Copies of this chain bind each other. A is one copy, B any other.
């Protein structure tokens, strides 16, 4: 296809608006042809100044708008399943913001629908796989130069949590990124989750169990620990160290300018994921556009979205009840490689 990919964007909230900007500024080869949002005034505003874009209050209507070649789902998670199934029914490639669906049961229905179709259409928005540092780590691990990975040490910190953030969401929303990253980096499914709860920070909202220490064991015998701390107060930090048989590799300490001034040496820390993963989002969408134009699918699959949901659910049980909780995954369809790897 030499013409730009015609994209329908569902949802023009924070992530949707950001993707709209991206499709105009930093991603070539695509053109937004339709947007949908129940708040059509917001949708109109979001595409002001763009030509030949239709605006819809209904997501399915947007899918059927003229010129739509592919769908970017950035609507609230409750609306994902319907949109994903509709895209599958129409054979449209989809980039779906995480989480794939609100729970693993819904995710499994999406997986089954795509599996019946017999070809991948869905890419889930775990953008870290497109981050340069994560990609370098993946390449290094896959090279085998450091031997087999034994442990992953992960840190996931936010300055502060948004309103209404719950203790479970530290796992289902925040740690879901580490779940996908660990499965991808190790190429293994996660088989158990244990959540350990320190006395919460006095700076966390009352009642929020923050921070938490989350442990995963994997099918291949690796162990992953994740510090999740969503009210750390000082910056957005995502780190991952892979400890292998012959060395370790760490990402997330990257920096730019170093200032020497009163108080010592200092380096800035990103304030949020929009800054830290700006390039990853750009590359994610570019990879999706390029693949969609060629009729391929890349990146995290619907299965990855399902597995992340299932692991997170086990984590929420461990958080509530304590102890080690086993993850029981459905059988993996052949479309996603079958067998036991991630």
Contacts and interface: CB of A to CB of B under 8 A. Distances in A.
Contact of A245 (B27, B233, B235, B237): B233
A202 B235 CA distance: 34
Given A153-B153, A225-B213, A227-B243, A259 B265 contact: no
A215 B198 contact: no
Contact of A249 (B202, B203, B251, B258): B258
A248 B259 contact: yes
A112 interface: no
Given A24-B29, A28-B25, A227 B258 contact: no
Contacts of A148: 201-202
A286 interface: yes
Interface string A178-201: 000000000000000000111101
A339 interface: no
B249 A223 contact: no
Contact of A269 (B150, B215, B246, B260): B260
Contact of A203 (B147, B243, B264, B265): B147
A25 B30 CA distance: 9
A261 B145 CA distance: 10
A243 to B, nearest CB: 7
8 contacts: A26-B26, A150-B201, A201-B245, A237-B260, A248-B259, A250-B259, A263-B266, A265-B269
The 10 closest A-B pairs by CB, nearest first: A199-B221, A247-B261, A266-B266, A198-B223, A265-B267, A264-B268, A201-B245, A25-B28, A133-B256, A264-B269
Interface of A: 2-3, 23-29, 49-51, 132-133, 136-137, 140, 145-148, 150-151, 153, 155, 196-199, 201-203, 211, 213, 215, 217, 220-223, 225, 227, 229, 232-235, 237, 243, 245-251, 253-269, 279, 282, 286
